[in-house]
């Protein structure tokens, strides 16, 4: 019998069974009672694939390929209009007329841009956007509920949807829903862990970028190269996903753009405090309008009269107000861009699957209604 050195056996064993930081991980063994996920809650990458395969009214394009080899898709509704572009946005601003970038009159349709989760564990936006696409195609969400206003608004706008902006992170996340689970489970797989098993957590997960080195579980925040798309280097993007997001904005000149996120919270719009004051006022108006809707429908909400606040013109934004994806989108195109935070449905925030879908679809409807009624023209 041939002798095999023990060291070789150990090395081979570790090679085969070592944890791949980019692989999907198993569910927590000590999770509390698992909450069954209803069929209408379409939060998986396979749900996106199935929905896109059935599209007839919209157009589907592959925008990029992630480091993990996964496609990033865009869905487009409404014909793209000619805005007679003759300059990039910042040059048009310097010329004191943004119509040189995009000439938008009353005869052109608003452009609305929905960016699905750049953080892979924030699956709520995927579930909402898959239902939104289904409404655009059939008039109904996956519960069979009709949304006539949404259908009407789609016919009056150019709508662009990226269902998942970080498919790598979404693939690695072992959960299709966090409803009924503790926030610590989401934190473990969202921001990831260090080699000693301690959580990176928020905001420390942003202290290393790209996230490499002291990593046992690579959080779903990041693509497979460790890039947090929300905080990419926008003047020289590291991620092809970021490049695709920005290219659509530059090409399409959206009137309004939302980046979909989630936390253990009631739903709310985060102010883009690095935008000009007039744009912050518009965001605050939409945020108040949306919160009032949630109150009237008895959905999770912020307190009555809540506002995200507006920075004063002569105030330097605090250090925590970083220049992020929504900041970059505004300054690249002039779009009214902001972040929306949805509840996860964790034990801490308590939202149900049905409430999360209504929160998401309500947001989309209010965005479309707002821009149709409050459009800025450049002529």
Which DSSP symbol is given to 211? -
Contact 210, 233 (CB under 8 A): no
Check residue 2 and give its pLDDT.
35
* Domains of the chain as residue ranges with CATH: 33-373 (3.40.630.10)
**Nearest CA-CA partner of 307 in 279, 286, 323, 324:** 286
| Lookup result for tokens 């699956």 | 123
Its sign, for the CA torsion 229, 74, 113, 43, is negative
pLDDT of res. 309: 87
pLDDT recorded at residue 24 = 67
**DSSP per position, 35-49:** PPPPTT---SHHHHH
Numbers of helices and strands, H then E, in the chain: 11, 9
**216 φ, ψ (degrees, to nearest 5):** -100, -55
Return per-residue pLDDT of the chain as tens, 379 residues: 333 333 333 333 233 333 345 666 777 776 765 679 999 999 999 999 999 999 999 999 999 999 999 999 999 999 999 999 999 999 999 999 999 999 999 999 999 999 999 999 999 999 999 999 999 999 999 999 999 999 999 999 999 999 999 999 999 999 999 999 999 999 999 999 999 999 999 999 999 999 999 999 999 999 999 999 999 999 999 999 999 999 999 999 999 999 999 999 999 999 999 999 999 999 999 999 999 999 999 999 999 999 998 876 555 555 457 899 999 999 999 999 999 999 999 999 999 999 999 999 999 999 999 999 999 998 8
State the pLDDT at residue 318.
54
Q: Calculate the dihedral angle through the C-alpha atoms of 11, 15, 19, 22, rounding to the nearest 10 degrees.
A: 150
- Residue 5, Cβ neighbours under 10 Å: how many? 8
pLDDT at residue 27, rounded to an integer: 76
Query: β-strands 192-193, 217-218: how paired?
Result: antiparallel
Owner of token pair 């995009």: 102
Strands 71-77 and 59-65: antiparallel
Question: Residue 185 has what pLDDT?
Answer: 94
Residues in the chain: 379
Token digits for 74?
Answer: 């865009």
CA within 13 Å, CB half, 322: 12
Whole-structure pTM value: 0.92
Classify 96 in phi/psi space as left (phi over 0), alpha (psi -120 to 50) or beta. Answer: left
């Amino acid at each position: 019998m041939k002798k095999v050195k023990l060291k070789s056996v150990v090395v081979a064993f570790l090679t085969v069974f070592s944890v791949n930081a980019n692989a999907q991980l198993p569910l927590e063994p000590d999770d509390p009672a698992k909450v069954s996920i209803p069929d209408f809650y379409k939060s998986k990458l396979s749900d996106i694939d199935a929905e896109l395969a059935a599209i007839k009214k919209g157009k589907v394009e592959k925008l990029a390929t992630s480091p993990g080899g996964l496609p990033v898709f865009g869905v487009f509704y409404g014909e793209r209009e000619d805005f007679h572009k003759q300059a990039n946005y910042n040059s048009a601003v310097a010329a004191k007329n943004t119509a040189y970038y995009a000439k938008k009159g009353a005869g052109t349709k608003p452009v609305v841009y929905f960016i699905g989760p750049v953080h892979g564990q924030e699956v709520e936006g995927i579930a909402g956007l898959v239902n939104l696409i289904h409404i655009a195609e059939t008039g109904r969400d996956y519960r069979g509920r009709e949304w006539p206003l949404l259908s009407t608004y789609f016919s009056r706008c150019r709508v662009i949807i990226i269902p998942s902006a970080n498919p790598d992170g979404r693939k690695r996340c072992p959960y299709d829903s966090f409803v009924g689970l503790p926030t610590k489970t989401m934190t473990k797989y969202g921001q990831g862990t260090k080699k000693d098993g301690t959580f990176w957590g928020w905001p420390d997960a942003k202290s290393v970028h790209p996230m490499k080195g002291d990593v046992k579980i690579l959080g779903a925040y990041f693509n497979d190269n460790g890039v947090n798309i929300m905080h990419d280097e926008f003047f020289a993007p590291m991620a092809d996903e970021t490049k695709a997001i920005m290219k659509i904005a530059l090409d399409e000149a959206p009137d309004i753009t939302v980046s979909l996120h989630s936390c253990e919270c009631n739903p709310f719009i985060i102010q883009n405090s690095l935008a000009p004051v007039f744009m912050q006022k518009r965001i605050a108006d939409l945020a108040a309008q949306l919160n009032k809707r949630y109150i009237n429908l008895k959905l999770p909400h912020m307190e009555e009269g809540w506002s995200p606040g507006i920075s004063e013109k002569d105030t330097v934004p605090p250090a925590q107000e970083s220049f992020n994806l929504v900041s970059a989108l505004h300054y690249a195109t002039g779009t009214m861009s902001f972040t929306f935070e949805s509840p996860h449905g964790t034990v801490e925030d308590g939202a149900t699957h049905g409430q999360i879908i209504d929160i998401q679809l309500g947001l989309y409807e209010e965005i479309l209604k707002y821009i149709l009624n409050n459009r800025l023209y450049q002529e």
